[in-house]
Structure 1
Amino acid sequence: MIVLQIDPLRLDDALDQVLEAALAPERWSAVLERICEATGSFGAHILPLRGKFSPGVPATPSLHEGFEAYFREGWYLQDIRFGCVPHVLKKGVAVEHDISSEEDFRRSAYYNDFLGRFGFRYSAMVGFTTGDTLLSLGLQRTIRDGPFDREEERVLVRMRSRLSLAADIMRGVSLERLDAMSNAFDMADIACAFYDRHGRVTRLNKLSEGLLDQDIRLLQGELTSRWPEESTALRGHIKAVLQSPAIADSAASSPVRLSRPGRRPLIIRAQRLRGMPAEIFSHSVAVAVITDLEDRPVPTGKVLQLLFALTAQEAIVATQLARGLGPKEIAEALELGYETVRTHTKSVMQKTDTKRQSEVAALLSGIRLSSVRKMD
């Protein structure tokens, strides 16, 4: 007689609470704990089945230390369990013995140096979907718990429909919030673009759509410039925002300039969206605010002298930087030497506490002239 470690009644109750967690994401940890109790598991987590993912995925506290080591030590780059994916796609669920043998358990560094350190050994992966995203509920057992067997596998596969329903609800909630944010940006006359966790544009609001032309396009989910180096810079900026604390990475904290011949450039600055459901369930996880310098008044040199203690010549150069011009263009316009303009530009950046010309342009073009007292 086969004795299951899974309690179907308790699992059914836990799955009912999954739907509650869909509407109250802060409950995910507690619900995953209930699933662990019902399945004889030590810990549980939810991960994308394909593509990259970052720390912060829904998981029980029992797995937090292991996840920290997983990312910190690079085990995610050699995760044997990615081999479960074909099995999940074929039958909806996979267990450890679908991909590994007892010999693997004895010899593999992944099982011994990583999982063994925490007493982990056996897992089950239950696949489910939301939109075009494939997700998995991972259940982790220790060496003492023993493996998931084929009878338990047949019970686990029945979890899929309710997991998918919960994920769809969370995705729907994120879409509603996204609609509200997009409308709010439109009402505030701010152009913006929303991005998913892969760095693809998911939505442009009406104002940003109006900025697309032959120089700046949306191609295959990516905002691009006619100049490849600017497209590369924007791609790097978005990637850094998605993967790093903005304060710790200059690529994440520095805006990007997209040039437009005959007009002042666009300045793009992205940031992660907070207050959304767990990002693996969310339609979009970051927003980029697009500033059209053509619509921004340029402060006078006199105002800039007052605000930043610039010299008269530095203030003249600063006004040109605010218009989005580069040092070569400024040198030609003012009939100054290129190195002279570079020297003034460095001084302006130092006095305005900026590190890049795009930051100077964004800062100076955002000054509200009405808030500055007139000089006598």
Structure 2
Amino acid sequence: MAQLGYAFRGAAAHSTTSEWWMEPFDLQRLSRVLAAAAIDPSLWTEALQTAAECTGSYGAVLLPVVGALPIVAATPSMDRSANVYVSDGWQGRDERYRGKAAFLANGVATDDDCMPLDARKRSPFYQEFLRNCNLSGWAGVRIGREDLVWNLSLQRTPEQGSYSARELRALSELSNSLDSVVQTCAALGLAKGESALSAFDFSKRAALLLDRSGHVVRVNPAAERLIGLDLQISAGRIRCQDPKSNELLHNAIRALFWSVEAFTIAPIVLQKVSGGRLVIYPMRLTGLTDSPLSLFHAILVISDTDLTQSAGMMTLREAFELTAAESRLAWALASGKDLESFAAERGLSKQTLRNQLKSVFMKTGTHRQAQLVMMLSNLVPEK
């Protein structure tokens, strides 16, 4: 479970006293601000500040249970501990992962669900990390169910104490009332994502939506037509047949996901089995991935060099009655490629290309490459 217990950042908050016959927290206020943030992602920081204040916590952060990434919604007072957590590698030694079963079953988990008090007194995570950051009591509140589960992680200082049994019952009640927050947020995010996919499809560009774990969430029709020998979706992930290309693609996706600031990275060029190329552009689109509860986290836009050239090659075929192979060669020469580089790109022998070129000369009424290129220049768009 991704970063179950640790809150990356938090908001200073002051605990409040309540009479025994009253609810320990203002659950209606808390539910209201979280529901508002589900509709308007710009309100998440304010919502988490309210969560910290309502629960007498030092800080609050919203963490995905699946798909741990450095980009999370949080309040700003725990920056120092966040830096220590990452720089000292505590994400690989976080004992609060042990509370996952109680978290999922009960809607709330505490440090007692992770390990006994005596063990915590000997644990480096509790004694070296949390103690040095002046953090102590913790409650992880489940938001959502099944595949759509997030953790509202609440953190207290030693002075604020642990969460009482009465407070934990209230947080469990809160958890059971927040399913609609996740569903609303996911639905709105997915609607925006599908609109983006439709826009790419309208412009004849293939595109796929990825979730925080890198799994494919949606594919537009243009991308579906590219799925096959060169690109596959296996176990929910986009894959290449060539191992080196597959590693290159996955490294690029990981680099985008783990970058806090970058919204795009350099495109990946993959060699097709047929000899052409696929150019993949990984990106996060502003406005589409703003919500921490968004169902997707990135988009891959794919350009097939063969399809990009197809319209121009079809014009050549119709104008001069060229074969598909001859039109590809004519297009390449008219676009500035030489015979040798085109042969290497397509995996063809020079003799085969020379024979094709002779046929192109005959059908176009030309005798030299320069003459052919000049004649075709008006049919090939400028780069």
1:332 CA displacement: 8.7
- After the TM superposition, which residues 31-180 of structure 1 pair with which residues of structure 2 at under 5 Å, given as runs? 31-49=47-65, 51-129=66-144, 132-180=147-195
Contact 1:257-1:267 within 8 A present in 2 as well: yes
TM-score (norm 1): 0.75
> What is the alpha-carbon distance in structure 2 between the residues aligned to residue 329 and residue 141 of structure 1?
68
Pair 302,29 (structure 1): closer, same or farther in 2 beyond 3 Å: same
Q: Name which of 39, 46, 50 aligns with 1:23.
A: 39
- 2:319 counterpart of 1:288: no
Contact 2:248 2:268 in 1 (8 A): no
Q: Secondary structure at the match of 1:121?
A: coil
- 1:13 — aligned with what? 29
Structure 1 residues 184-263: aligned runs within 5 Å: 184-244=199-259, 252-261=265-274, 263=275
- Give the Cα separation in 1 of the matches to 2:229 and 2:42: 45
- Asked which structure has the greater CA Rg, the reply is 2
Aligned residue pairs, count: 321
Q: In proportion to residue count, which structure has more helix?
A: 1
* Contact residue 19 and residue 162 of structure 1 kept, 8 A: no
With over 3 angstroms needed to count, the CA separation of the structure-2 counterparts of 1:278 and 1:97, relative to structure 1, is farther
Given candidates 309, 316, 319, the residue that maps to 2:338 is 316
Unaligned runs of 5+ in 1: 305-314, 336-367
Tell me which residue corresponds to 1:272.
284
> 1:272 touches 1:286 (CA, 8 Å); kept in 2?
yes
CA distance in 2, matches of 1:221, 1:96: 34
RMSD: 3.2
Provide the C-alpha distance between the structure 1 equivalents of 2:260 and 2:120, rounded to a whole number of angstroms. 37
Match of 1:325 in 2: 345
Q: Give ranges in structure 2 of 5+ residues lacking alignment.
A: 1-17, 313-330, 355-378
Other structure's SS at 1:137 match:
strand
More relative contact order, 1 or 2 (CA 8 Å, 6+ apart): 2
> Take 2:240 and 2:70, find their aligned partners in 1: how far apart are those partners?
31
| TM-superposed deviation, 1:186 | 1.0
List per-residue Cα deviations over 1:52-100 (Å, max 9, x = no partner): 4112211111223322322222111110111111111222211122224
SS in structure 1 of the partner of residue 137 of structure 2 = strand
The one-character-per-residue Cα deviations of 1:94-115 (angstroms, maximum 9, x if unpaired) are 1122224443443322122211
Q: CA deviation at 1:191?
A: 1.0
Secondary structure of the structure 2 residue equivalent to 1:296: helix
- For 2:9, the equivalent position in structure 1 comes to none
C-alpha contact 2:63 2:151 (8 A) present in aligned 1: yes
Distance 1:330 1:197, change over 3 A: farther
8 Å contact kept, 1:33–1:43: yes
- Deviation at residue 136 of structure 1 after TM alignment: 1.2
| Preserved CA contact (<8 Å) 1:197 1:279 | no
Separation (CA, whole Å) in 2 of partners of 1:300 and 1:148: 70
Q: Is the 8 A contact 1:240 1:246 kept in 2?
A: no
- Change in 2 beyond 3 A, CA 1:225/1:55: closer
Q: Equivalent residue of 1:117, what SS?
A: coil
Identity %: 25
Instruction: Classify the secondary structure of the residue corresponding to 2:301.
Output: strand
Measured at CA, do residues 3 and 317 of structure 1 come closer, stay the same or move farther in structure 2, by a change above 3 Å?
A: farther
